[in-house]
Amino acid sequence: MAAKLMNAIQYSRYGGGTTALKRVKIAVPDPKADEVLLKVEAVSLNAFDWKIQKGIPRPILPGKFPYVPGTDVAGEVVKVGSSATKFKAGDKVLALLSHATGGALAEYTVAKENMTVAKPPEVSVAEGAGLPLAALTAHTAVTHANIKLDGSGETKNVLITAASGGVGHYVVQIAKLGNTHVTATCGARNLEFVKGLGADEVLDYKTPEGASLRSPSGKKYEYVIHCAMDIPWATFALNLSETGKVIDLTPGLGTMIRFATQKLTFSKKPLVPLILSPKTENFEYVVNLAKEGKLKTVIDSKYPWSKAEDAWSRIISGHAMGKVIIEF
């Protein structure tokens, strides 16, 4: 019997941006024993999606070409694998796919059952699609900063860079669940937006004050959660407390070299690359925060499937305020 076909978007080489995206018909995947097959209802794009296409993590990612990009999905379970027991056909879920295999930009996709969680009715499809990678990354960064999310403990002074972006806007909200004083950076047009997320102080990164990262109240930072790029280490060092730490969510080769060097020299002010290792319980935790209204997905823009290429252009621009969503 011929395989059932579906519409998908893929690319077959590094580079090319939007023009390299091709609309194709490929076979609907069959779930492995520990997987579920989903009918995709919405996809959220992340900055790392276009970085894979650009070749920044080559040769590690993607696993192979041609590649269907995207990892963050909201959808409906169509079929479950032989050892999958948590879900049944018809369940509404959110899923995080592997960057190695991708698969989100298609009518159907398969997800590991342990990286699939139930979508609460209180969370819309578009809001839910925004959560998987970005909210999990934000939660991991905040917990790495030893912030207790029940609000207990001493106040921690925290700097969050690129606070209006897809990850950054979640970092601010989750950090403010703890006992924190948050200073945040963003562009001028997003200052009020970031204040509305709960930040105590907001800096325009293009001003001299913002570029220096100095807290307007003169505070030194115990932790910096760094969601941006291209800030010199010396700028961070001047603003850290004696044992302040920078958690880098966009680590490149320079970050890895500095991390290794600081390990060897026992630096009291370390730069730590964050490598996400997602766990089911953390995924369920951030989804529950959304259910309870404690974590909001701010949507920069929504695009229908027919204009998915425009969504790709938007995420490449680097100017999205919150999440970029494609709806099917």
Q: Kindly report the CATH number assigned to the domain that includes residue 182.
A: 3.40.50.720
Task: With cut-offs at 50, 70 and 90, classify the pLDDT of residue 81.
Answer: very high
Eight-state DSSP code of residue 316:
H
pLDDT at 279 over 80: yes
- Predicted local confidence at residue 213, as pLDDT: 98
Is residue 121 domain-shared with residue 143, that is, in the same domain?
A: no
Q: Tell me, what CATH number does 60's domain have?
A: 3.90.180.10
pLDDT band at 39 (very low <50, low <70, confident <90, very high): very high
Residue 292 lies in a domain: no
Question: Do 152 and 256 fall within a single domain?
Answer: yes
Burial level of 47, CB count in 10 A (0-12/13-18/19+)? buried
Shared domain check, 173 and 127: no
- String of b and e for 240-276 (b: at least 16 CB within 10 Å)? beeebbbbbbbbeeebeebbeebeeeeeebbbbbbeb
Beta-sheet strands, E only, within the chain: 5-10, 22-27, 35-45, 72-80, 92-96, 108-112, 116-118, 156-160, 180-186, 201-204, 221-226, 240-248, 271-273, 299-304, 323-327
How many domains does the chain fold into?
2
* Residue 148 included in any domain: yes
Across the chain, which distance is largest between two alpha carbons, in Å?
A: 70
Q: What percent of the chain has pLDDT over 70?
A: 95
59 within a domain of the structure (yes/no): yes
Considering the domain architecture, whether residues 127 and 139 belong to the same structural domain is answered as no
The answer to the question of residue 123 being in a domain is yes
Q: What is the pLDDT of residue 270?
A: 84
Other CB atoms within 10 Å distance of the CB of residue 325: 25
**For residue 267, is pLDDT > 80?**
no
What DSSP character marks residue 3?
Answer: P
Q: Crossing angle of helices 168-175/280-291, nearest 10°?
A: 80
Closest CA to 248 of 262, 233, 234: 233
Residues 50 and 104 in one domain: yes
- Residue 310 CB-density burial (10 A; 0-12 exposed, 13-18 middle, 19+ buried): middle
* pLDDT on residue 43: 98
Does the pLDDT at position 214 exceed 90?
yes
- Strands annotated E in 49-126: 72-80, 92-96, 108-112, 116-118
- Say yes or no: 86 and 207 in one domain: no
Confidence of residue 164 (pLDDT cuts 50, 70, 90): very high
**pTM exceeding 0.85:** yes
Classify residue 201: in a domain, yes or no.
Answer: yes
Q: Does residue 1 carry a pLDDT above 70?
A: no
pLDDT at 75 over 60: yes
Are the C-beta atoms of residues 204 and 164 closer than 8 Å to each other?
no
Judgement on whether residues 33 and 113 belong to the same structural domain of the protein: yes
Pair 54, 141 in one domain:
no
In a domain, 315, yes or no: yes
Please tell me whether residues 187 and 75 are part of one structural domain. no
- On the question of pLDDT at 163 being above 80, the answer is yes
- The Cβ of residue 201 has, within 10 Å, a number of other Cβ atoms equal to 17
Mean pLDDT (whole number) for 183-209: 97
| Mean pLDDT, residues 184-196 taken together | 98
**Average pLDDT of 222-235?**
94
DSSP string over 245-272: EEEESS--HHHHHHHHHHHHHT-SS-EE
310 and 234 in one domain?
A: no
- d(CA 235, CA 269) in angstroms, rounded, equals 12
pLDDT at position 269 is 82
Task: Please check whether residue 284 lies inside any domain of the structure.
Answer: no
Domain range holding 32? 5-131+297-327
Residues 100 and 36 in one domain: yes
pLDDT at position 325: 98
What is the C-alpha separation between 17 and 234, in angstroms, rounded? 33
In a domain, 289, yes or no: no
